[in-house]
Amino acid sequence: MDASSRPRSLTRSDASLATSAVRREPGATIPPGIHCAEDYEAAAASYLDAATYAHVAGGAAHDVTVEANRRAFATWALWPRVLRDVTAGHTRVQLGAQVLAHPILLGPVAFQRAFHPEAELATARAAAVGDSVMVLSTLSSVSLEAVAQVPGATRWFQLYVQPQREVTADLVARAVAAGYRAVVVTLDAPVQAASHRALRAGYAAPPASAAANLASYPSPAATAPRGCGILGDAMRHAPTWDDVRSLVRDSPLPVWTKGVAHPDDARRLADLGVAGLIVSNHGGRGLDGAPATLTMLSHVRRALPKPFPVLLDGGIRRGSDVFTALALGADAVLVGRLQAYALAVAGALGVAHMVRLLREELEVCMALTGCPDPSAIDADALLARDDATSPFTPRPRP
């Protein structure tokens, strides 16, 4: 579960968090200086208070995995090709029965009111305009039913398995009734190490009551801890193989799993009948020290060859990152932090603009590597980068 969801250090109400988080008012236009999707990362520092920015940018513990996710892209170069006709090309991808206009999805990001007053409603509008899929977090600031009222957006529902399994089933039923097209069960963060960066900056998580989708359910009854601390207590509600099996069996929607890293887990999930997998380490917010998602992608793809749908998230900041992920076997990618940053800077307009920039950056890569459509992007379009002059030198933190 995302760190922001845990009901500890509850010192502020959701409303006060939303107000205090905004430093510069999000604009109705794109501010000058945004030339590429990644520019939203630095720009957001002027729109979010330091603690909220640190919460978004940071990962679990020491940020080892956050940094690994980015560095992994730097190990690959894109290999240019000339004189190829790509003029009949496109960016469409097929994920199971769904055809998407391009392979860039808006991943689940909790409590978006901390970034913009319109929260997930703005993101849904951006998904509609940008022909993207919005994956709504269980821990959204706006209820899944209210988000479903935004016309035109393709929506998937991200599910955190709840301590009371009947609540889990009810969340899925609500997502079905509201027209969501898939359920994405997140498996990689039943507990999280706190972000040292966020704690040092004074970040306090919003109260449990800020999770609009969970507001109508009674709190789980307190029970005495079993066994030792984290293992016996927090982990007793963690999702199990049986949970995934019942979800796949009972859900009328395709069930995806998010947070898969190991090929053995991937194979077993595929055998259970999941619709697809998202190779993810929760943007470095789960197990600090986990490998980069790009590294794990190759292992998972080898275990589950195409056409089994495999997506990737973690560290996507540029169109060239999307290209690299596709070349190493992903069918599509999700963006997490870029979405929060763009939302903070310019609301729905910012998120739609960020998606458009990423898509254009991807198309430039496709044009110059001679790949007319995503299915033509494969490992032959990459070269291992062996020089030390990486263009991915981390920017100084704002």
Ligand X SMILES: Cc1cc2nc3c(=O)[nH]c(=O)nc-3n(C[C@H](O)[C@H](O)[C@H](O)COP(=O)(O)O)c2cc1C
Question: Contact positions toward ligand X, by CB under 6 A?
Answer: 2, 56, 69, 107-110, 137, 139, 158, 186, 258, 280, 282-283, 285, 313-316, 335-337, 340
Half-sphere exposure of 58 (CA within 13 A, CB side): 24
Q: Least Å distance between CB 381 and ligand X?
A: 22
Contact (CB, 8 A) for 114 and 203: no
* Nearest residue (CB) to ligand X, 337 versus 356: 337
Nearer to ligand X, 342 or 372 (CB): 342
Least distance to ligand X, CB of residue 224, Å: 28
Concatenating the DSSP letter of every residue in 122-189 gives HHHHHHHHTT-EEEE-TT-SS-HHHHHTSTT-EEEEEEPPPSSHHHHHHHHHHHHHTT---EEEE-S-
Q: List the catalytic residue out of 55, 102, 116, 282.
A: 282
The least CB distance from residue 187 to ligand X, in Å, is 9
Is 196 known to be catalytic?
Answer: no
User: How far is it, in rounded angstroms, from Cα 288 to Cα 281?
Assistant: 9
Q: Which 3 state secondary structure label does DSSP give 271?
A: helix
Nearer to ligand X among residue 337 and residue 359 (C-beta)? 337
Q: In this complex, which beta carbon is closest to ligand X, that of residue 56 or of residue 297?
A: 56
Q: How far is the CB of 256 from ligand X (least distance, A)?
A: 11
Question: Cβ contacts of residue 334 below 8 Å, gap of 6+?
Answer: 104, 105, 106, 107, 135, 278, 280, 311, 312, 313, 316
What is the spatial distance between Cα 386 and Cα 255, in angstroms, rounded to a whole number? 39
Residue 221: HSE in the Cβ half-sphere, 13 Å Cα cutoff:
3
Q: Is the CB of 276 or the CB of 315 nearer to ligand X?
A: 315
**Is the separation of the CB atoms in 48 and 22 below 8 Å?**
yes
Instruction: Give min distance, CB of 370 to ligand X, in A.
Output: 28
| Residues annotated catalytic, as ranges | 282
